[in-house]
C-alpha cells in the first residue's frame, strides 16, 4: 500500500546517496559488457517486506536487467529460500546491490518483528498498531512493513487523524471542549482519538464523543476497568511500555488495539544474502 511515485522518488534518492558521483569500483574494475546473475536469499526464517521495492531498485537503475520476484510481501521465507533473481549488466547491478539489500533487510526486519508481536496476541481480540515512531524519510515504507507483518496502521501523518492529549486538554479546559472544537473543524472522514491517563478521563472522552480512546500507560487492571466501562462503544488502544513479555497480558484485558513503537523503531535488520555470478 505505497504509492508508486513515492517509491520511485525514494529509490532514486537512496541510489544517489549510496553511489554519489560514481561507483568507482564497478566503473574501474568491472568490464563494460560483463553480465551478472544475482540470487537474493533469506539466511534465516523471516517475513518478507519490500521485495517489490528492492526489485524496483534494480529495474530503475538498470532498465535492461531482468528482475524475477519469487516471493511477495508477507511471505514467511525459510532459511535459504531464494527470494528473487536478477540478471543483466554487471556494473549497474553491482552499483545497485547494497541499496536494494539495505531496504529489503530493514523492511523485512520490521515485518518479522511485527509478526512476532502479532503471534503473541493470537486468539485475543486485540490488534497490533504501529505508531509515528518511524525513521525519517521511511514513514510509508515502514508502515507498509508493519502492515505486512500483521499490524494495522495508526496515522500516516499529522494530517490524517486527531489525537487529543493531556496538554491539549489542559489548554482547552476540558476533554469535552477539546472534542467539540475538533469536531467542528476536522475533515469529515477523520477520526478523533483522546488520550486518557485515568478512568474518569475515559468516561469523559466517551461522553464527549471521541471516536477512539488511547489508554496511556495504564495497568492491566485499569485497562480491564476501562474495557468494562466503555462496553465496546468506541475502540480502546493500549499504549506505553509494551514489549514481548507484557503484550499478551495487555491483550487479554480486552482492549481493541495495542500500539508498539518498537516494531518500527527498534527492529533489527534480518540477514538477507546475495549470491552473484559475474561473466565477462
| φ, ψ (nearest 5 deg) of residue 124 | -90, 170
Using DSSP's 3-state secondary structure scheme, residue 131 falls into coil
- Site residues for a copy of itself, 233-272, by CB under 8 A, read 235, 237, 257, 261-262, 265-266, 268-269
Cell numbers of 159, please? 494530517
CA 225 vs CA 94, 219, 229, 236, 254: distances in Å: 58, 10, 6, 12, 10
- Site residues for a copy of itself, 172-231, by CB under 8 A, read 172, 178, 181-182, 185-193, 211-212
Annotation says 98 is catalytic: yes
Catalytic residue among 132, 165, 176, 198: 165
From residue 36 to residue 65, the character string flagging contacts with a copy of itself as x (rule: CB under 8 A) and all else as - is: -------------------------x----
Q: Contact between 117 and a copy of itself (CB under 8 A)?
A: no
Instruction: Tell me which residue of 51, 59, 78 sits closest to 145, measured CA to CA.
Output: 51
Annotation says 216 is catalytic: yes
Q: Contact between 116 and a copy of itself (CB under 8 A)?
A: no
CA gap 111, 119 in Å, rounded = 12
CA gap 20, 225 in Å, rounded = 57
CA dihedral 92, 98, 102, 105 (to 10 degrees): 100
Catalytic residue among 195, 204, 237, 256: 195
Cell numbers of 164, please? 487529543
From residue 118 to residue 157, the character string flagging contacts with a copy of itself as x (rule: CB under 8 A) and all else as - is: -----------x--xxxxxxxxx--x---x----xxxxxx
Cβ at position 27, least distance to a copy of itself in Å: 4
The residues pairing with 279 across neighbouring beta strands, listed in sequence order, are 35
Cβ at position 221, least distance to a copy of itself in Å: 24
Among 55, 92, 149, 254, interactor with a copy of itself by CB under 8 A? 92
Nearer to a copy of itself, 21 or 245 (CB): 21
Cβ at position 11, least distance to a copy of itself in Å: 8
173's CB contacts (< 8 A; 6+ apart) are none
Annotation says 195 is catalytic: yes
Catalytic residue among 60, 133, 176, 191: 133
Q: Contact between 14 and a copy of itself (CB under 8 A)?
A: yes
Q: Contact between 160 and a copy of itself (CB under 8 A)?
A: yes
List the strands of the sheet with 162-164, edge to edge: 127-129, 257-259, 236-239, 212-216, 192-196, 162-164
**Which of these segments, 5-13, 73-81, 215-223, 225-233, binds a copy of itself (CB under 8 A)?**
5-13
Residues in the chain: 280
The maximal CA–CA distance of the chain, rounded, in angstroms, is 74
- List the catalytic residues: 98, 133, 165, 195, 216
Amino acid at each position: 500500500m505505497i504509492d508508486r511515485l513515492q517509491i520511485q522518488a525514494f529509490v532514486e534518492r537512496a541510489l544517489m546517496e549510496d553511489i554519489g558521483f560514481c561507483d568507482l569500483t564497478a566503473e574501474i574494475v568491472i568490464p563494460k559488457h560483463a553480465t551478472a546473475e544475482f540470487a537474493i536469499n533469506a539466511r534465516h526464517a523471516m517475513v518478507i517486506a519490500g521485495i517489490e521495492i528492492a526489485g524496483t531498485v534494480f529495474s530503475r537503475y538498470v532498465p535492461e536487467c531482468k528482475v524475477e520476484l519469487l516471493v511477495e510481501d508477507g511471505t514467511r521465507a525459510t532459511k535459504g529460500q531464494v527470494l528473487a533473481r536478477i540478471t543483466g549488466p554487471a556494473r549497474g547491478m553491482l552499483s545497485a546491490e547494497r541499496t536494494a539489500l539495505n531496504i529489503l533487510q530493514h523492511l523485512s526486519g520490521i515485518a518479522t518483528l511485527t509478526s512476532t508481536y502479532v503471534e503473541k496476541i493470537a486468539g485475543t481480540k486485540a490488534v497490533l498498531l504501529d505508531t509515528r515512531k518511524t525513521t525519517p524519510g521511511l514513514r510509508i515504507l515502514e508502515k507498509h512493513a508493519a502492515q505486512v507483518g500483521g499490524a494495522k496502521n495508526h496515522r500516516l501523518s499529522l494530517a490524517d487523524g486527531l489525537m487529543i492529549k493531556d496538554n491539549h486538554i489542559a489548554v482547552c479546559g476540558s476533554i469535552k471542549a477539546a472534542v467539540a472544537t475538533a469536531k467542528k473543524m476536522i475533515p469529515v472522514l477523520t477520526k478523533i482519538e483522546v488520550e486518557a491517563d485515568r478512568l474518569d478521563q475515559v468516561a469523559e472522552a466517551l461522553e464527549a464523543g471521541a471516536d477512539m480512546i488511547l489508554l496511556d500507560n495504564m495497568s492491566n487492571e485499569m485497562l480491564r476497568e476501562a474495557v468494562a466501562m466503555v462496553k465496546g462503544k468506541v475502540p480502546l488502544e493500549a499504549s506505553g511500555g509494551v514489549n514481548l513479555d507484557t503484550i499478551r497480558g495487555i491483550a487479554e484485558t480486552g482492549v481493541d488495539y495495542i500500539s508498539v513503537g518498537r516494531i518500527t523503531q527498534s527492529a533489527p535488520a534480518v540477514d538477507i544474502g546475495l549470491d552473484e555470478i559475474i561473466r565477462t
